[in-house]
């Protein structure tokens, strides 16, 4: 997939350039880089006028700590200043009354969210438990001194992340970074984890894909991981997903069509993909986009 095309589609989908021009931080990197990791409850959001800058206000998330997963924090309640007014890069976001997993560093006595939007995750109770399990596993992996064993333990950990829809992006970004538009902003070298997947792990990834009833963006990476050797069945999966695409996920249409072109392509189909991209970016109505999809599906099935 061409990174620029994908970025344009996403810009159209979200209405503003919530691009991520910092190096993307999947879970493994967050664990390695953060001084503290906590699970907490956001008690309130406070706005405090900044005396140094007349037109600027500090926003503070007051968080009651439920668990400390990394580092040592003695406080039961902490204040985390952040700037919710950024557009690019996307800032950390907190909302009163929610449960959060937060990756923190401390600078000049104040806690700061590490890696902006990547470092603050609002999660359900189930999501918190899934993330907590993966965090503890990675902390153990990071203590392995044998580089060979450490690498393959990391590959297995990434597969486990990918198998669960809650942590899927944390796995797919590192197993198939080229599938994700955010890799466009990667400034660090991406290890070749995908090349070391075992046959058994590939079978598990295939099962994870076909067990997914409502695909999300992270599933694009999973599709790419599974595609080779399963072209026919993945083609059918993509067609079914495209035909049943709900209105609120219309922006996925471009991703499905581009992947369907891998198996069958002709100038007419390519023109439809280009037309869909342009019309979506121009905010065409749902009916017009659906008509393009129907034309495309008819050609892909022929």
* Inside any domain, residue 5: no
Q: What is the pLDDT of residue 254?
A: 93
* Inside any domain, residue 52: yes
Place of tokens 């894909």: 209
* Inside any domain, residue 105: yes
Tell me if 50 sits within 8 A of 58, measured CB to CB: yes
* Inside any domain, residue 84: yes
Q: What is the pLDDT of residue 19?
A: 44
Q: What is the pLDDT of residue 87?
A: 82
Q: 3-state DSSP call for residue 138? A: helix
- The model carries a pTM of 0.89
Q: What is the pLDDT of residue 146?
A: 98
Q: What is the pLDDT of residue 162?
A: 98
Residue 40 sits in a domain of what CATH number?
2.40.50.120
* Inside any domain, residue 149: no
* Inside any domain, residue 90: yes
* DSSP state at residue 95: -
* Inside any domain, residue 69: yes
Alpha helix positions (H), the chain: 3-14, 27-33, 125-141, 147-163, 168-175, 199-210, 219-227, 231-243, 253-260, 267-281, 286-301
Per-residue pLDDT of the chain (302 residues; tens, 9 = 90+): 444 344 444 434 433 334 446 899 999 999 999 999 999 999 999 998 766 654 445 799 999 999 999 999 999 999 999 999 888 889 999 999 999 999 999 999 999 999 999 999 999 999 999 999 999 999 999 999 999 999 999 999 999 999 999 999 999 999 999 998 777 777 788 899 999 999 999 999 999 999 987 778 899 999 999 999 999 999 999 999 999 998 888 988 999 999 999 999 999 999 999 999 999 989 888 999 999 999 999 999 97
Euclidean distance between CA atoms 112 and 133, whole angstroms: 24
**Domain extent for 53:** 34-131
Q: What is the pLDDT of residue 251?
A: 86
Q: What is the pLDDT of residue 236?
A: 94
Q: For the chain, how many structural domains are there in total?
A: 1
* Inside any domain, residue 181: no
């Amino acid at each position: 997939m061409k990174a620029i095309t994908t970025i344009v589609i996403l810009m159209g989908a979200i209405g503003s350039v919530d691009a991520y021009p910092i190096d993307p931080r999947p879970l493994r990197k967050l664990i390695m880089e953060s001084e503290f990791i906590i699970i907490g409850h956001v008690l309130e959001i406070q706005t405090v006028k900044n005396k140094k800058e007349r037109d600027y206000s500090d926003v503070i998330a007051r968080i009651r700590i439920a668990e400390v997963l990394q580092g040592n924090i003695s406080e039961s309640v902490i204040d985390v200043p952040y700037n919710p007014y950024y557009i690019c890069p996307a800032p950390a976001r907190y909302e009163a009354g929610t449960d959060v997993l937060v990756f923190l560093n401390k600078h000049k006595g104040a806690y700061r969210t590490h890696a902006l939007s990547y470092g603050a995750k609002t999660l359900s109770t189930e999501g918190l438990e899934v993330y907590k399990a993966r965090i503890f596993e990675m902390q153990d992996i990071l203590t392995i001194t044998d580089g060979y064993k450490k690498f393959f333990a990391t590959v297995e950990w990434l597969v486990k992340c990918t198998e669960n829809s809650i942590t899927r992006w944390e796995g797919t970004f590192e197993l198939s970074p080229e599938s994700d538009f955010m890799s466009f902003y990667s400034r660090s070298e991406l290890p070749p984890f995908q090349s070391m997947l075992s046959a058994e792990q590939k079978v598990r990834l295939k099962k994870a894909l076909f067990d997914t009833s409502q695909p999300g963006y992270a599933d694009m990476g999973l599709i790419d991981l599974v595609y080779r050797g399963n072209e026919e069945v993945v083609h059918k999966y993509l067609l079914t997903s495209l035909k049943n695409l709900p209105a609120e996920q219309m922006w996925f249409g471009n991703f499905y069509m581009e992947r369907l072109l891998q198996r069958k392509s002709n100038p007419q189909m390519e023109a439809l993909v280009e037309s869909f991209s342009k019309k979506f970016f121009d905010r065409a109505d749902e009916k017009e986009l659906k008509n393009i999809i129907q034309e495309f599906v008819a050609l892909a099935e022929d």
